[in-house]
Structure 1
Amino acid sequence: MENNRRNFLKTAGLSGLGLVAASPFAAFARNQDELDAIGEQARRSAPRLFNMSGYAAPKLDVVRVGFIGVGNRGMGAVERLNKIEGVEIKALCDLRETQVNKAKKLVEASGHKPDIYFGSTDIWKKLAERTDLDLVYILTPWAYHTPMAVFSMTHGKHVCVEVPAAKTIEEAWLLVETSEKTKKHCMMVENCCYDFTELLNLNLARQGFFGEVVHCEAAYIHNLQDYMFSKNHFYQMWELEEMSKRAGNLYPTHGLGPVCQVLNINRGDQFDYLNSMSSNDFVLGNMAKELAAKDDFYKPYAGRNFNGNMSTSVIKTKKGKTIMVQYDVSSPRPYSRIQLVSGTKAVALKYPEPARYSTGHEWMSEKEVKALEEKYMPPIVKRMGEIAKKVGGHGGMDFLMDWRTIDCLRNGLPLDQDVYDAALWSSVGPLSAWSIGHKSNSIDVPDFTGGAWQQNKPVDISMTKGGTTGTKV
């Protein structure tokens, strides 16, 4: 299996040699290590060590948690798990002492007594090596996601890891192989799968409202210009570094994850191939030059090439469905994940909000949509929605995700997202880079399930089991 994956995809590579040279994104493409490692695995299935889809680990009465990275999103995760019963926060880790002390003070007020780790760049390993943790929650810059997740699983921990879970195809495979070998969950914490509209649309799909879903559209369109150049928001300017060293659909999972669940991807259908196209950059390079003229801090970024403003990927599935995924974090546009679900009987479109639904030429009235919500809103939202809103975190979806994850671990239930989802959804990043670097030629998508997608069961959002975990809200 290893040799197969490491063999270069000869037909794609040879046919694209001339195309790469002609592409303005050629430098980006050549710098992607994974482009030499996609291999024949993109065209064949590999034997599975163990199928983690639908896997239920032994239940845990108390989930003992350690956090790696307690900065912006990390502090939010600490705050949320601090409000969930059956959780013991045992360890906190960050490069900055001020951050771990802030998080420690927060949870000590609730009776937790965590050890803290800070300072050196590999201090996180001390946390992952502990024998008194069940779950390691990883909220660090992208480059550390896979190394930390793999190390934690090999040391006997379940893992929750921020998005994207992997930057390269090889990293995606490493996550899959490690999860299967250790039988430890590796859940990419894609919070948008728990937004109330996305959960409603998933239930509508399950109940046949859309008929046969044939096309979906998804996106991450979020103006992050000021954040990327902030000296404080993205610690060590790591996201700006990502945008100047990589090309493509770098952050696909917020929009993609929910529509993959609607289409039963990895559980009844699978990605077949994709192609991608990106505009040039007309914003970030100019901003870097303007800031560098006033502040020497930004001089290292002046003159760099940056990822384009808009990246668009189109995916064809094995069953003939299509998905469009867009990524734009540098244009002055209102926030959108699109969230379009189009079927043979009906369509849903979330953005611009409020969400709209139609079974014909006209959108439903507000009254009709309200009736639809009352009839089809899934049990998890009816049970925990108001509590989640009260806690907060992107309107409550963050808390709903964490509560559901802890409840599944405590009740010995399969998680809503598994390692195959983490690998596949993340793979759009490096695969899109290859396509963009080869004049938008298509590339086959690896089957991380090894063919098991044909038998795997869809995600269960009915919550017929579990739901026993309380909160401190």
Structure 2
Amino acid sequence: MRIGIVGKRGAAFIPGLRSCGGVTIAAVCERDPVAGARIGQRFGIDGPCLTEFESFLGLGLDAVVVGTPMQDHATQAISALDRGVHVLSEVTAATSIEECRALVAAARRSSATYMMSENYCFSRTAQLVERLARRGMFGEVTFVEGAYIHDCHLVQYGEDGTPTWRTVWQVGHRGITYGTHSVGPALTWMDDRVATVSCLGSGVHSDPRHVQDDVTAMLGQTARGRLIEIRLDMQSARPHNMADFALQGTRGAFLNPRRSGEEPLVWLMDRSPRRDEWEPLEAYAAEFLPEEWRRFGGEAISSGHGGADYFAARAFVRAARGEIANPIDIDRAMDFTLPGLTSEESIFRGGAPVAVPDSRRW
């Protein structure tokens, strides 16, 4: 499988891609030729480094990893899919509902595989919690809270003061503009989709240059009548916590750490020794950790990002080859992306509930 890397962020997936065997990183596409050459040197890529995406697609690639700024994801994915090229796309899948419709149509008419790389779903903790949920250890999962708290001021402007794409697409408008890192794991653990959202903001206080609220909160009612709560905070001055999760079920609960030095905790009605004490999630790893993490966990963690990119890349290659079901196919990518896009209408309407489209009906 000849795979091309598009954008600097796409390079993070190379170790996982190569771990599958039979994979060649054939080319790099990066608007900044110096950055592109740096990727080629770092990973020993013999193929060309191009700056134009359409020329890059003309190289006869089997697959591409789209790791460009988020406003380019949908258009680049559509171009690749229309050529029959498999796509692993960074998040979010698209930046508007109209783009989502076009992307879904492209995926439907293409023979190629589309997968969105919501890497938070592939972290060790998320995979272990998912396995516990699938085995019914939490009972019915009724509520998940997720928060992405990340002071992004240092990446919103270049050294010369020029706004970056993050300024326009992440804090340049209101709503949950970057929510899949929270929504993705929540819906995976619930095995559900969001049907309705209501979104409110705290107002602009920290940085008047941006229209996004300091804190944005979204409540989502799922198709099965359960609840998710999502917080997005890319403005407030504080240490970051980009994976703040809590899960509640009818027979158990999970808490992710809120600061460094803490560990993930669970309480399981049928297993925990005391009703009033949490246990380390790690106590259940020997029994519930997925085989992929057992086999490749050490190598994955050494590749960076906690190993999540590594396993997302492996899942993509295996799905494209037909070895496994696609874990985040086009409809699941929409399940993760559309609640945030729909929240923009809700917050504009003062928090009014707004129905989230279901791409399966498009």
Indicate whether the TM-score tops 0.5.
yes
Deviation of 1:365 (Å): 3.7
The aligned counterpart of 1:364 is 278
Instruction: Please tell me whether the aligned partners of residues 137 and 159 of structure 1 are also in contact (alpha carbons under 8 angstroms).
Output: yes
* Distance (whole Å) between structure 1 residues aligned to residue 69 and residue 204 of structure 2: 23
Q: Does 1:220 align with 2:165?
A: no
* Distance (whole Å) between structure 1 residues aligned to residue 358 and residue 159 of structure 2: 40
Instruction: Please tell me whether the aligned partners of residues 151 and 237 of structure 2 are also in contact (alpha carbons under 8 angstroms).
Output: yes
Q: What is the SS of the residue equivalent to 2:295?
A: helix
Q: Does 1:137 align with 2:65?
A: yes
The aligned counterpart of 1:350 is 256
> Aligned AA for 1:325?
I
Deviation of 1:236 (Å): 5.9
The aligned counterpart of 2:272 is none
* Distance (whole Å) between structure 1 residues aligned to residue 150 and residue 97 of structure 2: 25
Deviation of 1:65 (Å): 0.7
2:186 corresponds, among 259, 275, 279, to: 259
Does the C-alpha gap of structure 1 residues 149 and 370 become closer, same or farther in structure 2, counting only changes over 3 Å? Answer: closer
Q: Does 1:103 align with 2:39?
A: yes
> Aligned AA for 2:181?
H
Q: What is the SS of the residue equivalent to 1:148?
A: helix
Instruction: Please tell me whether the aligned partners of residues 191 and 397 of structure 1 are also in contact (alpha carbons under 8 angstroms).
Output: yes
Deviation of 1:349 (Å): 0.9
Deviation of 1:258 (Å): 1.2
The aligned counterpart of 1:68 is 6
Instruction: Give the alignment of 1:9-158 within 5 angstroms.
Output: 63-70=1-8, 73-78=9-14, 80-82=16-18, 84-108=20-44, 112-118=45-51, 123-130=52-59, 132-158=60-86
Does the C-alpha gap of structure 1 residues 244 and 344 become closer, same or farther in structure 2, counting only changes over 3 Å? Answer: closer
The aligned counterpart of 2:175 is 248
* Distance (whole Å) between structure 2 residues aligned to residue 171 and residue 330 of structure 1: 27
The aligned counterpart of 1:385 is 297
Instruction: Please tell me whether the aligned partners of residues 88 and 116 of structure 2 are also in contact (alpha carbons under 8 angstroms).
Output: yes
* Distance (whole Å) between structure 2 residues aligned to residue 387 and residue 410 of structure 1: 22
CA displacement 1:247-282 (0-9 Å, x = unmatched) = 1101111111112111112xxxx3221110011121
* Distance (whole Å) between structure 2 residues aligned to residue 235 and residue 188 of structure 1: 29
Does the C-alpha gap of structure 1 residues 357 and 224 become closer, same or farther in structure 2, counting only changes over 3 Å? Answer: same
The aligned counterpart of 1:458 is none
* Distance (whole Å) between structure 1 residues aligned to residue 102 and residue 235 of structure 2: 31
Instruction: Please tell me whether the aligned partners of residues 113 and 320 of structure 2 are also in contact (alpha carbons under 8 angstroms).
Output: no
> Aligned AA for 1:377?
L
Q: State the structure with more CA Rg.
A: 1
The aligned counterpart of 1:450 is 361
2:288 corresponds, among 356, 368, 376, to: 376
* Distance (whole Å) between structure 1 residues aligned to residue 233 and residue 173 of structure 2: 14
Deviation of 1:148 (Å): 0.5
CA displacement 1:294-330 (0-9 Å, x = unmatched) = xxxxxxxxxx442111111111112111111111011
Instruction: Please tell me whether the aligned partners of residues 77 and 89 of structure 2 are also in contact (alpha carbons under 8 angstroms).
Output: yes
Instruction: Please tell me whether the aligned partners of residues 356 and 363 of structure 1 are also in contact (alpha carbons under 8 angstroms).
Output: no
Does the C-alpha gap of structure 1 residues 139 and 370 become closer, same or farther in structure 2, counting only changes over 3 Å? Answer: closer
Instruction: Give the alignment of 1:159-308 within 5 angstroms.
Output: 159-231=87-159, 237-243=164-170, 245-265=172-192, 270-285=193-208, 304-308=209-213
Root mean square deviation, CA, Å: 2.1
Instruction: Please tell me whether the aligned partners of residues 243 and 306 of structure 1 are also in contact (alpha carbons under 8 angstroms).
Output: no
Identity of aligned residues (%): 25
Instruction: Please tell me whether the aligned partners of residues 194 and 339 of structure 2 are also in contact (alpha carbons under 8 angstroms).
Output: no
Higher relative contact order (CA 8 A, sep 6+): 1
Q: How many residues align?
A: 353
Deviation of 1:83 (Å): 5.4
> Aligned AA for 1:94?
E
> Aligned AA for 1:318?
A
Q: What is the SS of the residue equivalent to 1:399?
A: helix
Give the TM-score taking structure 2 as reference length. Answer: 0.91
User: Where does the alignment leave 5 or more consecutive residues of structure 1 unmatched?
Assistant: 1-62, 286-303, 452-473
CA displacement 1:406-430 (0-9 Å, x = unmatched) = 2333454322110112122111232
More strand by share: 2
